[in-house]
Amino acid sequence: MKWVPLGLVRYTFCLGGLSVFFFLLCILTGPFLMLYYVPDVNRAYSDVMDIMQVVPFGAFVRNVHRWSACLMVLCVPLHMLRVFLQAAYKPPRQLNWLVGITLLILTYLLCFTGYMLPWDQEAYWGATIGATMAENTPILGAKGPFSVLPSDKDIHYIMLGGTVLDQPTLSRFFFAHCIAIPGALAGLMGFHFYNIHRAGGMSGPL
């Protein structure tokens, strides 16, 4: 038997719940896109074209996936803002705030790896920028200040699976977008909810 403050939906705008909802929509539509999408640099773009133009309801499924992802990446920071403004990170909920920030990072990573997959111009140059940012990491990147690793051993090399964007990069991003990050996100989300429960429910007025 769990009691929560009455009218919670009204003045917290339900943002956390909506984030979960949008994530679920993405989880539901993603596998359908995977049926027609092959992460091959020569095929990826035409597969997305097929999804948009040939597959029945393909465009609709991709649109739902994309737009709900957009709304999710809007909702998650807003939820964080609400949590901060209502001081819900204070004891006993510190741990949940930390988990929440990790969820925020994972959401952004999910978006980054996701918009790489169509392999269009925006994806290619976006990924180039992301990879070069990794290359410029201090100490661990080849071009960053105080770098110690050569350009074929730094984190940029791990990220791309090479020194230029090519098939290994797309495979890696596909794996990250479809398996690694959603898995971590789902697991941490569960922990996030469990923590709410353990901390004695959502932050009511004290």
Residues 101-140 that bind another protein (CB under 8 A): 101, 104-105, 108, 111-112, 115, 118-126, 128-129, 131-138
Q: What number of other Cβ atoms are within 10 A of residue 156's Cβ?
A: 25
- The CA angle 191-196-197, to the nearest 5 degrees, is 95
Give me the torsion for CA of 130, 131, 133, 139, rounded to 10°.
Answer: 150
Quick check: 205 binds another protein (CB under 8 A)?
A: yes
Q: Phi and psi for 52 in degrees, rounded to 5? A: -75, -30
Q: Which residue is it, tokens 């990790």?
A: 102
Determine the longest span between alpha carbons in the chain, in angstroms: 59
Residue 109 vs 186, nearer CB to another protein = 109
**Residue 24's closest CA among 69, 59, 63?**
69
Residue 54 vs 105, nearer CB to another protein = 105
In the region spanning residues 26 to 85, those forming contacts with another protein, defined by CB under 8 A, are 45, 48-49, 52, 59-60, 62-68, 70-71, 73-74, 77, 80-81, 84-85
Options 31, 34, 94, 190; binder of another protein; rule CB under 8 A: 94
Task: Provide the minimum distance between the beta carbon of 15 and another protein in the complex, in angstroms, as a whole number.
Answer: 10
| 91 upstream amide cis, omega within 30 of 0 | no
Task: Provide the minimum distance between the beta carbon of 186 and another protein in the complex, in angstroms, as a whole number.
Answer: 17
Task: Provide the minimum distance between the beta carbon of 146 and another protein in the complex, in angstroms, as a whole number.
Answer: 6
How many chain residues interact with another protein (CB under 8 A)? 94
Quick check: 198 binds another protein (CB under 8 A)?
A: no
Task: Provide the minimum distance between the beta carbon of 147 and another protein in the complex, in angstroms, as a whole number.
Answer: 10
Tokens for 156? 């940029």
CA 161 to CA 63: how far, in whole Å? 30
Quick check: 194 binds another protein (CB under 8 A)?
A: no
Task: Provide the minimum distance between the beta carbon of 104 and another protein in the complex, in angstroms, as a whole number.
Answer: 8
In the region spanning residues 129 to 188, those forming contacts with another protein, defined by CB under 8 A, are 129, 131-138, 141, 144-146, 152-153, 157-158, 161-166, 168, 172
CA 108 from chain centre, in angstroms, equals 4
Kindly state the DSSP code that residue 58 receives in the 8-state scheme. Answer: H
